[in-house]
Amino acid sequence: MEKNKKTQLEDIAAALGLSKSTVSRAISGKGRISTDTRERVLQCIKEMNYRPNMIAKSLSENKTYNIGTVIPMDSAETEAPFFQTCLMGISKECAVRDHDAVIIGTEKNDLSQLKRVVDNRKVDGIIITRPVADGGMEKMLRENGMPFVVIGQSVDKDVVTVDSDHTAGCRELTSYLLMSNPPESIGLILGSMEHTVNKSRLSGFEAAFAEAGSKPSVQLVYTDVESELQFSKAMTALMKQQPACIICGDDMLCMRLLAELSNLGLSVPDDIKVASFYDSVFLDSYLPPITSLIYNATELGATAVSQLMDMLEGEEVEKQKLMHFEMLVRRSTM
């Protein structure tokens, strides 16, 4: 056999003096075949470095060996680091499981690409990377009988989810700040409440105040802050209250805040303390370093694939799996 020629099923059959159908049954484990024959076939496969035709294999097993990953195309470019890191975990775990990751783009009111992939059964299962409050994707996948896992918290409590423990993390960070700042002096800026992650962040923030026997000031809490205009209005209103500390829901809101404070001639932490409910490379180079919460996006992606693959293999999986977090106390709140 030529050195670079790809080994075919016929080559295995010829080498062992068996029929192609016998070799095929030995590989698939289906049909009646002796243990001795199966072991001979598997040993020959190993020696000849045979790789089965995946197209033929997928047809015979009614599987695609693809895992779809839903990425929101209407997300800001600044959100790319999270999705990129999450995709790394998804791709690596898919490779370990002998599957390929297929990216599926969606927008807020347009699930057409996802629906096309599902209708044509181009994937064996789906991973949703950013669920929204209306639960539209989950509903559509359920109705089409497509197995899926959500990264984040879903409004549908019966679906399998993998998420960082945002509520606990935000509660811990807020509790830390409440130890050195009066409750009425801590502000909060959050993004869209259509995203379940921001609901979890707000829940953790409020829980910390409740544990301290107080409530956050409504004049210092701003949600659904997305556009530059919305951010500008929130900042103007916040600064009128002269807060001692401002918490941002994510790294990009924090970068906006830091730029605005610099424009106002205010120093962190001398004039005002700053913290973020999410850390990223965007905050790594800022001086002083920003107190923030760290979540492992690579691990999230890999765990989601692991859960989905176990589901596809008929195994019982944990409905709601929460991953660990780390709180980094840095100079911005000291």
Cβ neighbours of 280 (radius 10 Å)? 21
Per-residue confidence (pLDDT) for residue 4, from 0 to 100:
42
Residue 285 has pLDDT above 90, yes or no: no
pLDDT, residue 45, reads 77
Q: Please, what is the angle between helix 9-16 and helix 20-28, to 10°?
A: 110
The residue with greater pLDDT, 131 or 70, is 70
CA 217 to chain centre: 32
Better-predicted residue by pLDDT, 108 or 97: 97
Q: What is the mean pLDDT of residues 297-324?
A: 90
Burial bucket for residue 235 (CB in 10 Å: 0-12, 13-18, 19+): buried
Compute the half-sphere exposure of residue 274: CA atoms within 13 Å on the CB side of its CA: 30
3 pLDDT band, cuts 50/70/90, is very low
The band of 79, judged by pLDDT with boundaries at 50, 70 and 90, is: low
In angstroms, the CA 257 to CA 189 distance is: 9
Q: Which residues of 184-221 are buried (b: 16+ CB within 10 A; e: fewer)?
A: ebbbbbbbeeebbbbbbbbebbbbbbeeeeeebbeebb
Element (H, E) at 104: strand 100-106
3-state secondary structure of 115: helix
Q: Is the pTM of this model over 0.85?
A: no
Average of per-residue pLDDT across 173-195: 94
Q: What confidence category does residue 62 fall into, taking pLDDT thresholds of 50, 70 and 90?
A: low
Ordered structural domains, the chain, with CATH: 9-61 (1.10.260.40), 66-164+297-319 (3.40.50.2300), 166-296+328-333 (3.40.50.2300)
Band of the pLDDT at 51, cuts 50, 70, 90?
low
The pLDDT tens digits for 30-48 are 667 788 888 888 888 778 7
**Cβ burial, residue 165 (10 Å; 0-12/13-18/19+):** middle
Give CA–CA dist 159/167, Å, rounded: 19
Q: Which of 99-113, 180-194, 303-317 has the lowest mean pLDDT?
A: 99-113
Question: Percent of the chain at pLDDT above 70?
Answer: 90
Amino acid 24: pLDDT: 74
Q: Where are the alpha helices (DSSP H) in the chain?
A: 9-16, 20-28, 35-48, 54-61, 80-96, 112-119, 136-143, 166-178, 196-211, 228-240, 251-263, 281-284, 297-312
* pLDDT at residue number 183: 94
Q: What rounded mean pLDDT belongs to the chain?
A: 86
Distance CA 113, CA 107 (A): 9
Separation of alpha carbons 223 and 215, rounded Å? 16
Q: Each residue of 193-231: pLDDT tens digit?
A: 988 889 999 999 999 999 999 999 999 999 999 889 999
- Residue 216 pLDDT: 94
Q: What integer pLDDT is reported at residue 6 of this predicted model?
A: 54
Q: Say how far apart CA 61 and CA 76 lie, in whole Å.
A: 40
Are the beta carbons of 65 and 98 closer than 8 angstroms? yes
Per-residue pLDDT band for 112 (boundaries 50, 70, 90) equals confident
Residue 71: pLDDT over 60: yes
